[in-house]
Structure 1
Amino acid sequence: MMTYRNALILPIALASGLLFTNCDSKNESVAKTPNRPLTAAESKAALKQWEASSDGIQFKNWEASPEGKKVHAGAVKINKFIRSNSNLEGVVTSLTLPEGSRLGFGVMVRIEGEEYILSMGPVSKAEMEQLKSLKVRDKIVIKSRGVSKAPKYAYAIVSGDYLERNSKVIYKRVPNKGGC
């Protein structure tokens, strides 16, 4: 009787082993696929595909609207400062972001005569205390890595990397791990 039981267990064990081996080889092949940047042709094709989607069409329509043109002009106006990693001088105009925004902590600022959303990344407890001490009409110095725009907002969005008030640093973005 013992051999009969072994004869039944052996095929089950073999099938299970093959199943697990097959799963492992699939996971290995996925893990070995290198993440490579898209070629110029692939990027162009992906952009064309997105532009043809409903989101792309909606974005293009917004960009062509008077509100979209205003936001774009504001982004272009400060882009030269951002590219050269220059200081941007701004004045806090509001301590709250527009209703419904989902940008994390941020304030409204006036830079070069235009209104912008100043959005900070992850904020430490000490930095949060400093940022909460900001008041309307405070003059601040900003360094940024980029400016973006979205149809949801009537203002360009400045990504804050560094913020100081009265020559004192009150926020400094922590660089991403991995160098990017």
Structure 2
Amino acid sequence: MKKLIYALILSLVVVSGLVFANRETKNEIAKKSPPKPLSAAEREAAMKQWEATPGGIAYKKWEASPEGKNVLASAAKISNQVSAFTNMEAVVTSLSLPPGSRLGFGVMARINGEDYILSFGTENKRFFNFNNEFRQLHSLKVNDKIIIRSHVVSHAPKYSYPIVRGDYVEQDGKIIYKRAPSKGGC
């Protein structure tokens, strides 16, 4: 009986020691302050350093090319509406993204006479996924008129069109998609 009690006490001491050690490690991580934002001079130096890399050189070439200028001009056309998060009328032109695209689920849309990639992100494809956030977006057809709002318009040399992140989509006065707010954000 004594041996059993000693074994239980010993195991209790070991487990409590591990828990206490783990708690101290978490406290040390929490005490570390977040990195300070870079100053303007540091950002500029980092940008110059990146521009000297093969990726930076390729990006600069693309940016100066006619295709790059066209993509940047198209993105600039809607930048004010994106900044203000206002409604933009769009027409769905294709239900699939360009070949080789890695943007997840999305459609091609024409806004103000220019074509854009309207990207919604990755889609969870489960067998019994009844709560699919993109369910109503799958009902869109070519030439459907929609109202979209976005917080982000971006571009990449890989794509011939600017990329608009779909944050809000409305069709015939009904909301068919609204991006859920990010968890743990501000």
Does 2:135 correspond to 1:135? no
Secondary structure class of the residue paired with 2:63:
helix
Q: Deviations over 1:18-73 (max 9, x none)?
A: xxx9xx88x94797253332222221121111111110110000010010011011
Aligned to 1:177: 183
Counterparts of 1:54-93 in structure 2, within 5 Å, are 54-93=54-93
Flag structure 1 segments of 5+ consecutive residues without an equivalent: 1-20
Aligned to 1:17: none
Secondary structure class of the residue paired with 2:167:
strand
Does 2:135 correspond to 1:119? no
Q: Which residue identity does 1:132 align to in structure 2? A: H
In structure 2, the CA distance between the partners of 1:29 and 1:87, relative to structure 1 (3 Å rule), is: closer
> If the length of structure 2 is used for normalisation, what is the TM-score?
0.77
Secondary structure class of the residue paired with 2:143:
coil
Q: Which residue identity does 2:51 align to in structure 1? A: E
In structure 2, the CA distance between the partners of 1:29 and 1:107, relative to structure 1 (3 Å rule), is: closer
Does 2:181 correspond to 1:162? no
Secondary structure class of the residue paired with 1:108:
strand
Counterpart Cα distance in 1 of 2:110 and 2:62? 23
Counterpart Cα distance in 2 of 1:176 and 1:36? 23
Secondary structure class of the residue paired with 1:42:
helix
Percent pairwise identity: 60
Higher relative helix content? 1
* Superposed CA RMSD: 2.2
Counterpart Cα distance in 2 of 1:146 and 1:29? 32
Stretch deviating more after TM superposition (71-80 or 170-179): 170-179
Contact 1:106-1:117 within 8 A present in 2 as well = yes
Contact 1:87-1:143 within 8 A present in 2 as well = yes
Counterparts of 1:1-20 in structure 2, within 5 Å, are none
Instruction: State the aligned residue count.
Output: 157
Q: Deviations over 1:92-116 (max 9, x none)?
A: 0000000000001100000000000
Q: Which residue identity does 1:76 align to in structure 2? A: A
